[in-house]
Chain A
């Protein structure tokens, strides 16, 4: 069966007592995870969650988040992992937009979720870790996750899921400002995880460390990949303290390190790095932002025992391409070619397929391609267009690539103005919308500027209304109230007025290069 939650069932059959998740120094076996997942599933079903219902997860990386992901699928639901830094207004938007029936969170997030849940008519149930008692509030049921885990295992009714059903909605930044829910079916995620595990050569002895948030699909797939092959995933809340992660990697003999250039920069800056025994490390993967050639060389010199995979992808199809490590010497700046069980090509402005050696928009065809954006036919039609066979659609990535004679891909740029900061796509519109909510702000424009650590740093330019004053600090404080960390501008520049085009729109081109007041 091609269900994502069968990764857990299969691993449970093969390795019931093996550590599936290591988190906070505790080991959780596949049996532990399965028991927690079943209890969550049955609690959701008792609360009225049925096949196809969306269920959100607002939790730090940890065992509860993993059990929630699989529990929601076992109940027939569609899981949505929300970044734990999300603020209440955005959470309210995501709950409302998705029509989520339930939320799984933890007591420290109560100030974020209580008002958001109260505003969401469809959301009737909240399962809360770290809450001792069950209670009802504003017509919603709040249930203690610890009590659910302590309950007798209740029977689960078969929700009747088929692999064509949605497994997950992943909210991602869109150029229109509002985040869009990428609809991924079981078959989408199942085949993507299989293709990736195949080309990486993952096996059940692997121990994968994940300090990336599970709301980021690159983080989420570390769990799915580990479960797919019956390996072990080590979850860390963040990479803020690199030596803590290194201690863990040494102690648990980690074999796979998935990272982004920001993480690799932090690691390589440690003078004591050579003192850590990372001899078990056999794979390093990079995606989300291209690795600078110097960093590729530094990583290979520092970790000669590990194979380094440069990869490229987008949430809408998970992964697109990977560069086989043996090609790094001859094509260091390439992100490789399409992964197994997928076809990719470049098209010109008219959508005509281009031969190798051209530059054009990358198109992806395969069962990993999303089913569209949730309740958003307009944006869906822009990305999913008719493919070669009758009735099928293919994904237009919006990314411009160049290919060489053998079809290896080289990133050129994006068709829209999305910013990539810390490997995550950020919509300038979403930040500008947040800025305009500040009454003093008359005009706002947000651009990405090159940054060695972040890839691109977010820079905001604003003009203040006549007779009003505000400082960059106040503006940043305002942004912090509304946006996740990776979306808060690094710098705010206040100008008398922003440059305009002839039609009176704000001109962003060249904005970052203007002499600053």
Chain B
């Protein structure tokens, strides 16, 4: 799981340009911190689907799953576990 967390953080830092003045903690809201904007979540979802070979369903596109590194990590981990046991 720490590996997933690290991958997500690297991707976000590289692609969404976390500004120097905004230190992003794992629990920070990506939206409120201005890191990912409304159209940026579409890019983030595409990344999740390609990198982790998961399908992000429409009803899963909610802040509880996507709007922080913590939430993303938990969500991706759950999806991967579900796929493994399926």
A-side residues, CB < 8 A to B, are: 85, 108, 111, 237-244, 262, 266, 270-273, 422, 453-454, 473, 476-477, 480-481, 485-486
Contact = CB atoms under 8 A, between A and B. Distances in A.
Contact of B17 (A270, A271, A476): A476
B-side interface size class? 20 to 34
B3 interface: no
18 contacts: A85-B34, A111-B21, A237-B31, A238-B37, A240-B37, A241-B62, A242-B61, A262-B39, A266-B39, A266-B42, A272-B57, A422-B39, A473-B14, A477-B19, A480-B17, A480-B34, A481-B19, A481-B20
Contacts of B14: 473
A270 B58 contact: yes
Nearest to B61: A243
Interface centre among B21, B31, B58 (most CB of A within 10 A): B58
Interface string B49-71: 00000000111011100110000
Nearest to A262: B39
B58 A108 contact: no
Contacts of B20: 477, 481
B19 A453 contact: no
A-B pairs with the 4 shortest C-beta distances?
A: A240-B38, A272-B58, A485-B37, A480-B19
Nearest to A473: B17
Interface string B26-44: 0000011010111111100
Contacts of A266: 38-39, 42
A241 B17 contact: no
A271 B58 contact: yes
B39 A241 contact: no
B41 A240 contact: yes
Contact of B58 (A237, A243, A453, A480): A243
Contacts of A241: 41, 61-63, 66-67
A262 B38 CA distance: 10
